[in-house]
Amino acid sequence: MTTDYAGRGALFCSLADPRSWTDPITNISSVFGMSVAPVVRDLLDGELPLPSSIFPMLVHEATHHSFFTTRVFSALATLRLRASFGLVAEGAQGRGVRDMAVYERALAILRPLAEGAAMFAECDAKTGFTSDIISLALGTVADLFVDRDRSRGLDEELVRLLATVRISRSMLDRKVGLLGTPVHSAGGGYSLGYLALKTLWLHGTGTTESDLTWDESDRWLRYVRKFFLEDPGLLIAILDPAGGVDEATTRIASALRSRLLAFFVHFEPERDLEIFEAHAFDDDLLSEDGHASFSHSEELCGALHVAVADERRAQDLFRSNQSRLFGTTGDESAMAEHVGQTLDDAGVHDEYVRNVLGNVLLFNSFVGRSRRDLHIASVPVGVAIGRDLTTSISVGADEVFSFPFRGFGLNLLWDMPKEWERGKRLDGRVDVFVPMNEVLAVADLGLPLPRLVLISVGDEPVALQGYGYRDDDERDADLDEQGARLRFLLDSRRAFALMDRVAERVYKGAAGSLGTDSDELLALVDGVYFDWVATGLGAPYTIGSGQSAEVLQRIEDENVADLRRSGVLEVFGLDRKLIEGLALLGLCNSIDPSAEFIAGAFSSLGLSVEEFVADLDRLRAARGVPMLLTYGSLAMTIV
């Protein structure tokens, strides 16, 4: 399942461990810590909670997953797959080369936003349970890590989990690593996107302790997801077929830049978040048949600050682009014949794969429900069947689970593989999915969390196991429905990967003469985000007013240059202790920004609040950057 369908460079990886990633096209994830034997055992036998050390990486990838189900990323998936089909069917002279280049550049422009949001989910997102809704990351994912036999209430349990994970040496090191990365788009743009979002977040929180976003940064992040990635202007910029690669790239960057400005200027926290929350369950990305079903009400359009007419145009454009991968590029029967010949030449003879490629000319099934389920683990395992038909699953030398081949909640996808001799261990895989929507009602938290465990031998799915259902009838009904769908999903991904091998050869031969080169593209992306980072960190706000304009400008230029070169760490004069204090204060803000909690957190990790504040005052005097903000009794950091 860990196919490099879109190429490793296109994956969205965890900053702390690039072995954890999410593919924006297929929306599959791989979380490295899920592959160890004890975790696989817990996943297979339904035991919870999982180790809290995995939580940050899973939250990071779950946030990517949530963002990739939006209209904007679904449109990119459509564009990407249509480009591959076009490259295979029409060669370098067709529309596929242009579509692939636009996809790559759009992904580069959106990457800092997606990576910044995932880091915000890791380090900052929280709920004070004043909201009736909770996100995928804090709701569904957290449910895998809380104690099922808890005596505490769910709100206390979630706060305890966040405190355990975030007030720790490992999480502190993760955030110090984030703040120490250069603030530009090269290398993923993690700190560029994160610091830009933090500026927008602090701008929108207001100036009192009672403002909505202080305790509900999870709700704010859900609003950000919809504000930017359901935006009709950005969607139109991506799907508009007009112009070449350069024109489309500029159009997409301008649309996102305009959207960032609109957020800064127009966002009204109390009004917008209240309306947004009231419409949280109004629409879903796609209906069950895969057709676009966006229908933002006029009131919700107002809260998102978009024109109703643009919303309707975007909805029509999305639906028309989604309807067929080939769009109107030519006669489909002739193109299908050409695809078949090309696959023959590439040595792709598997009839099932070829049939799947034909079926996904209608893209609805794949971009619809198939990309919605959260894929939380894909683990290579050994699979063996004993003489009593008991099947055992092992990771390395450790047997982690065994089950009767028939019965006990297993839905057999087909008969036992012919090569599966009793007692012989075969190479297999365990994939774990969580069927889900993008938001969850707080009232539903604590209910059983359904999970689907797919067991494969080689590339062939063999059995599907379900956990977390209310009763056997609900489980059996869901397994019957999900088995065929997951089979199609896996085979589609396999077919797309084979097709891409052909498409990549065509594209590489033609892409060198296209559009914006790498340095120009990075500069363009930096220009979209960096002004928002400089707004928070570059200007010397606290230098005395007696300084000349020339001195103030020189200090600001130095701050900006240092941020670009080595991140916040350079602004701090490479003082590791000071940046640790700032990172820890930010993590405390995500749990409890009171002075008592902050003092306890600093002490638990061997840091001194008093020394940190004194060092921060010296930095403020020298560089003029107000890293510490106070709102009543709250102490907040801008990073």
The 3-state secondary structure of 51-103 reads CHHHHHHHHHHHHHHHHHCCHHHHHHHHHHHHHHHHHHHHHHHCCHHHHHHHH
Before 49, cis peptide (omega within 30)? Answer: yes
The one-letter code for the residue type at 404 is P
Q: Looking at the structure, do residues 517 and 586 belong to the same domain, yes or no?
A: no
The pLDDT of residue 255 is 96
Residue 428 lies in a domain: no
The one-letter code for the residue type at 427 is D
End residue of a domain, out of 521, 554, 580: 521
End residue of a domain, out of 491, 521, 551: 521
Q: Looking at the structure, do residues 517 and 632 belong to the same domain, yes or no?
A: no
Tokens at 104, concatenated: 């790559």
297 or 338, greater pLDDT: 297
Tokens at 406, concatenated: 């028939």
Taking only the tens place, the pLDDT of each residue in 2-30 is 333 334 347 888 776 777 888 888 787 87
136 or 188, greater pLDDT: 188
Residue 96 lies in a domain: yes
Taking only the tens place, the pLDDT of each residue in 217-250 is 898 999 999 999 999 999 999 988 888 899 999 9
Q: How far apart are CA 117 and CA 124, in angstroms?
A: 10
The pLDDT of residue 328 is 39
Asked whether the beta carbons of 194 and 115 are under 8 A apart, the reply is: yes
Q: Give the relative orientation of helices 96-123 and 190-204 as an angle to the nearest 10 degrees.
A: 60
Q: How far apart are CA 559 and CA 570, in angstroms?
A: 9
Residue in 494, 472, 491 with CA at minimum distance from that of residue 483: 491
**Confidence check: pLDDT of 100 > 80:** yes
Q: Looking at the structure, do residues 220 and 151 belong to the same domain, yes or no?
A: yes
The pLDDT of residue 312 is 84
Lowest mean pLDDT among 327-341, 389-403, 433-447: 327-341
Averaged pLDDT for residues 281-298: 54
470 or 358, greater pLDDT: 470
The one-letter code for the residue type at 191 is S
**Confidence check: pLDDT of 562 > 90:** no
Q: Looking at the structure, do residues 516 and 542 belong to the same domain, yes or no?
A: no
Averaged pLDDT for residues 122-127: 91
End residue of a domain, out of 492, 521, 550: 521
The pLDDT of residue 8 is 37
Q: Give the relative orientation of helices 55-68 and 96-123 as an angle to the nearest 10 degrees.
A: 140
Q: Give the relative orientation of helices 55-68 and 217-229 as an angle to the nearest 10 degrees.
A: 30
Q: How far apart are CA 539 and CA 558, in angstroms?
A: 10
Residue in 371, 532, 393 with CA at minimum distance from that of residue 29: 371
Cβ neighbors of 257 (< 8 A, separation 6 or more) are 527, 528
Tokens at 116, concatenated: 């910044």
Residue in 266, 120, 228, 317 with CA at minimum distance from that of residue 528: 228
pTM of the model: 0.87
Taking the CB of residue 583, how many other CB atoms lie within 10 A of it? 24
Task: Write down how long the chain is.
Answer: 639
627 or 84, greater pLDDT: 84
Q: Looking at the structure, do residues 627 and 516 belong to the same domain, yes or no?
A: no
Q: Looking at the structure, do residues 186 and 250 belong to the same domain, yes or no?
A: yes
Averaged pLDDT for residues 553-582: 75
455 or 122, greater pLDDT: 122
Q: Looking at the structure, do residues 573 and 517 belong to the same domain, yes or no?
A: no
Q: Looking at the structure, do residues 555 and 517 belong to the same domain, yes or no?
A: no
Q: Looking at the structure, do residues 598 and 517 belong to the same domain, yes or no?
A: no
Q: What does pLDDT average to over the chain?
A: 76
Taking only the tens place, the pLDDT of each residue in 135-157 is 877 777 777 787 755 555 666 78
Residue in 10, 13, 27 with CA at minimum distance from that of residue 286: 27
Q: Looking at the structure, do residues 516 and 623 belong to the same domain, yes or no?
A: no
Q: Looking at the structure, do residues 124 and 157 belong to the same domain, yes or no?
A: yes
Asked whether the beta carbons of 631 and 207 are under 8 A apart, the reply is: yes
Residue 206 lies in a domain: yes
The pLDDT of residue 354 is 62
Asked whether the beta carbons of 226 and 296 are under 8 A apart, the reply is: no
The pLDDT of residue 458 is 74
Angle at 468 between CA 467 and CA 469, to 5 degrees: 100
Please tell me what DSSP assigns to residue 168.
Answer: S
**Confidence check: pLDDT of 506 > 80:** yes
**Confidence check: pLDDT of 572 > 70:** no
**Confidence check: pLDDT of 407 > 50:** no
Averaged pLDDT for residues 184-211: 78
Domain membership of residue 311 as a residue range: 47-328+512-521
Residue 400 lies in a domain: no
398 or 601, greater pLDDT: 601
Residue 348 lies in a domain: no
Residue 287 lies in a domain: yes
End-to-end CA distance of the chain: 36
The percentage of the chain sitting over the pLDDT mark of 90, rounded to a whole number, equals 20
The number of domains in the chain is 2
Tokens 């000071």 belong to 578
The one-letter code for the residue type at 639 is V
Residue 344 lies in a domain: no
The percentage of the chain sitting over the pLDDT mark of 70, rounded to a whole number, equals 69
Q: Give me the torsion for CA of 350, 355, 361, 364, rounded to 10°.
A: -110
Q: How far apart are CA 49 and CA 58, in angstroms?
A: 14
167 or 495, greater pLDDT: 167
The pLDDT of residue 137 is 74
- The HSE-up count of residue 105 (CA atoms within 13 Å, CB side) is 31
Q: Looking at the structure, do residues 516 and 609 belong to the same domain, yes or no?
A: no
Residue in 499, 405, 380 with CA at minimum distance from that of residue 82: 499
Tokens at 249, concatenated: 């790239």
Residue 131 lies in a domain: yes
The pLDDT of residue 605 is 95
The pLDDT of residue 116 is 96
